[in-house]
DNA sequence: TATTGTTATACTCTATAACTATA
DNA sequence: TATAGTTATAGAGTATAACAATA
């Protein structure tokens, strides 16, 4: 029979065509490789204006007006000192506004400024579009939605490190 | 009607119950949160012996005997200087053996030592078991397999930074 | 001249501990 | 005594540039 170019074997890493072996079914490993793609998407479309953590903080504050730093830290599994550092940068860029809680002066409530809201909305739209454009060659819209849904379920398995 | 405890609204972050808003469908965001879970799994079950990158390198070398450092760097999107650092640590722990290529003396082929192979096999089994135990309350085995499959598809969308 | 791998180095990000202010 | 937030600081990880050896 005539020679023909062999199709590359399945179950191989992107970019280097290495066999994955038992890594193939390991969720943690596949997460790490998929994250390379979404990190590229973010860096291309938003990396000049925001870090990934910064974007996520802005988006969560946008969806949860008057959230506190502690709540953000828990949601993102970032330590309180580090949340304080990121918030400091966002506040100094006038993207986030802090106000002391009238009920408990230890807490401060966070809100986006007008420019913060504009930035996060613009960035969100760009990222949704870029994710779609990047992934659509390899998976359908339904598969993308299913992926986000399954990731959400997996994320719910997080062990609680701190109370409340 | 009688008061009853309200069920928590859906589409909220783990651990802090923040609304996700449009983040809900953003694959990159859900990846980051799901990664928190698998990182916990890894740290609990393997973190005392190996870093995540180290485990992945060992597993890829195991599945691809005589792979080169450059191939590993491409597969994992790690820069060549950093792969050299990780390999140096693994070689000094006698988990990986380097041999110069007879065909091209610039390259070196990597293989696991006996103890490297034993370690990666033991760790792999522990991680598979721990992932299952951690995720099974929130998703079925079929959903886990689907998740790994969709992640693999997403990972294939990686943009090539360097030639072949 | 290009490629593999390494060394040197600076930078970013993170974690831990200690501190202030409030409850 | 506990909690929210911050400051100080050390460590881990990463990236860039420059270099050596080989092709």
Using DSSP, state whether B20 is helix, strand or coil.
coil
Mutation for B interface: A8, A18, A22, A28, most B CBs within 10 A: A28
At residue B161, the pLDDT reads 59
Backbone dihedral region for residue B49 (phi beyond 0: left; psi -120 to 50: alpha; all else: beta): alpha
Of A26, A64, A160, the CB nearest to B15: A160
Structural Rg of chain B based on CA atoms? 20
Give every CB contact of residue A79 below 8 A, 6+ residues apart in sequence: A73
Alpha-carbon distance values, A122 to A115, A117, B100, B111 (Å): 10, 8, 51, 48
Is A161's pLDDT higher than 70? no
Once rounded to an integer, what is the mean pLDDT over residues A114-130?
A: 98
At residue A15, the pLDDT reads 87
Once rounded to an integer, what is the mean pLDDT over residues B23-52?
A: 97
CB-strand contact A106/D, under 7 Å? yes
Is B9's pLDDT higher than 90? no
Whether chain B has a CB inside 8 Å of the CB on A19: the answer is yes
Backbone dihedral region for residue B39 (phi beyond 0: left; psi -120 to 50: alpha; all else: beta): alpha
Strand C: list positions under 7 Å from protein Cβ: 3-9, 13-18, 21-23
Is B157's pLDDT higher than 90? yes
Alpha-carbon distance values, A131 to A35, A46, B30, B162 (Å): 12, 12, 13, 21
Is A29's pLDDT higher than 70? yes
More confident: B164 or A21: A21
At residue B7, the pLDDT reads 55
Token pair of A96 as six digits: 């986030």
8 Å CB contact between B58 and B116: yes
Whether chain A has a CB inside 8 Å of the CB on B24: the answer is yes
At residue B162, the pLDDT reads 42
Is A158's CB within 8 Å of B14's CB? yes
Q: Which nucleotide is nearest to B70 (CA to C1')?
A: C4
Of B21, B37, B158, the CB nearest to A155: B37
Once rounded to an integer, what is the mean pLDDT over residues B32-55?
A: 97
Token pair of A77 as six digits: 């599994």
Measure the CA–CA gap between A70 and A74, rounded to whole angstroms. Answer: 6
Is B163's pLDDT higher than 60? no
Q: What share of chain B is helix, strand, coil (3-state, %, to 5)?
A: 60, 10, 35
Q: Which nucleotide is nearest to A82 (CA to C1')?
A: C14
Of A21, A32, A143, the CB nearest to B153: A143
Measure the CA–CA gap between A63 and B21, rounded to whole angstroms. Answer: 5
Return mean pLDDT, chain B: 92
Question: What are the phi and psi torsion angles at A124 (to 5°)?
Answer: -60, -45
B46 CB burial (10 A radius; 0-12, 13-18, 19+): buried
Measure the CA–CA gap between A87 and A98, rounded to whole angstroms. Answer: 9
Beta strands A108-112 and B108-112 are: unpaired
Once rounded to an integer, what is the mean pLDDT over residues A74-99?
A: 97
Closest approach of A30 to chain B, Cα-based (Å) = 6
At residue B100, the pLDDT reads 94
What is the DSSP track for A99-131?
Answer: EE-SS-TT-EEEEE-HHHHHHHHHHHHHHHHHH
């Amino acid at each position: 029979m005539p020679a023909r170019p062999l199709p590359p074997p399945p179950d191989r890493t992107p970019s280097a065509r290495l066999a994955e072996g038992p890594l193939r079914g390991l969720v943690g490993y596949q997460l790490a490789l998929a994250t390379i793609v979404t990190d590229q998407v973010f860096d291309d479309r938003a990396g000049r204006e925001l870090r990934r953590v910064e974007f996520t903080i802005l988006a969560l504050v946008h969806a949860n007006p008057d959230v506190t730093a502690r709540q953000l830290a828990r949601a993102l599994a970032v330590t309180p000192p580090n949340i304080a550092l990121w918030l400091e940068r966002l506040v100094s860029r006038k993207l986030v506004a802090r106000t002391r809680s009238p009920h408990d002066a230890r807490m401060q409530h966070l809100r986006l400024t007008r420019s913060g809201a504009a930035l996060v909305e613009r960035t969100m739209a760009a990222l949704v579009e870029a994710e779609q454009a990047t992934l659509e060659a390899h998976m359908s819209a339904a598969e993308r939605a299913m992926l986000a849904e399954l990731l959400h379920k997996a994320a719910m398995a997080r062990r609680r490190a701190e109370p409340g």
